[in-house]
Amino acid sequence: MDHRSQIREFLTSRRARISPQQAGLVSYGTRRVPGLRRAEVAHLAGVSVEYYSRLERGDLSGVSDQVLEALARALRLDDDDRTHLEDLARAAGPAPRRRRRTAPQQVRPTVQRLLDGMTEAPAFVMNGRGDILATNALGRALYAPMLEAARGAVPNHARFIFLDARSQTFWGDWERAADDTVALLQAQAGRDPFDKDLTDLIGELSTRSEDFRTRWARHEVRQHHIGAKPFHHPVVGILHLTYESLDLAADNLTLVAYGTEPGSDSEDRLRLLASWATTADQPQVAGPAPAKRD
């Protein structure tokens, strides 16, 4: 996961998506590759071809906010893509930085108590790599297949999706779950390209999964704060759940909670799952040692 390569591939992938007609330009000659030429992007952004070529080679060091905004307009970036471009530029400091292995992230006792107090909604806390660091009882019941697949290690969304065949059944829409997970990892790689654990995870998945490699090459970047997901739980069957993601800003973590539509079959099945959770032996999240009390 080379940072310059990330920048180069992100910019070229976005340039390839825009036709001259979409950009309001007249197209001349035969094009060997789809999308805009470098010179056309430079023209639309109001910079020289030489300067844009430098940026697309992966050198965003020292680029101004005005140039980033001009690039975003020229490449028709959406909000998530704009944020990703800003993250890539922020990480492109003038001095090289060594990759570092992040310290194990811990969930504070107050956060765990908050989770435990959510008795009617499956909930969990994860980091930017998709590691599940803590859950409540109903969250453990919902994610039981993923926790069991981790075999005592820290459960990770991407490893389960791409390296465990059970995920194909567990996720009601596996393709969407796979796309969303890779998009989240892409965004995290832009925010923190020097995270050794993230680099190792991406390397492992790239080596072992063609599905992951194909998606990683697309450079899709999305943030998912609200939405809906279907699950096929081995105990209670099909669950259609809505979700809300809340940033725990003090910890750089995310709390995700699921719910159901009132009066739906999924609401009844979620109650059944809660009943099962109180009687069945639940796999535990293998996280780091508990943080000190607040």
Where do the structural domains in the chain lie, given as residue ranges? 3-91, 109-279
Topology adopted by domain 3-91: 434 Repressor (Amino-terminal Domain) (1.10.260)
Rounded to whole angstroms, how far apart are CA atoms 238 and 12?
Answer: 40
Q: What CA–CA distance (Å, rounded) separates 184 from 130?
A: 8
Average pLDDT of the segment spanning 184-193: 90
- DSSP code at position 197: H
Higher-confidence residue of 142 and 23: namely: 142
Structurally, at CATH architecture level, domain 109-279 sits in: 2-Layer Sandwich (3.30)
Least confident of 51-65, 81-95, 201-215, 227-241: 81-95
Tokens of 17: 């998506």
pLDDT of residue 294: 43
Whether the per-residue pLDDT at 290 is higher than 60: the answer is: no
How many Å apart are CA 11 and CA 85, to the nearest integer?
A: 9
Across 166-195, average pLDDT: 93
The percent of residues above 90 in pLDDT, for the chain, comes to: 69
Burial of 181 (0-12, 13-18, 19+ CB in 10 A): buried
- pLDDT number for residue 281: 67
* pLDDT band at 292; cut points 50, 70, 90: very low
pLDDT digits (tens, 9 = 90+) for 25-84: 877 767 777 899 999 999 999 999 999 999 999 999 889 999 999 999 999 999 999 999
Would you state the pLDDT for residue 34?
80
Query: Pick the residue with more confidence: 282 or 232?
Result: 232
pTM summary value: 0.80
Helix (H) or strand (E) holding 126: strand 123-126
Q: In the sheet that 123-126 helps form, which strands lie side by side, from edge to edge?
A: 132-135, 123-126, 253-259, 237-248, 226-233
Cβ-based neighbours of 5, under 8 Å, separated by 6 or more: 58
Q: What does the alpha-carbon distance between residue 254 and residue 260 come to, in Å, rounded to a whole number? A: 20
How distant, in Å, are the alpha carbons of 4, 10, 89, 90, 97 from that of 94?
Answer: 12, 20, 11, 10, 9
Distance CA 75, CA 64 (A): 17
For the CA atoms of the chain, what is the radius of gyration?
22
Residue 103 has pLDDT above 90, yes or no: no
Take residue 197 and report the two structure tokens written for it: 């654990």
pLDDT at 8: 92
The mean pLDDT of the chain is: 89
Q: 283 with 124: CB under 8 angstroms?
A: no
HSE of 96 in the Cβ direction (CA atoms, 13 Å)?
4
pLDDT at site 96: 46
Helix (H, G, I), strand (E, B) or coil at 220: coil
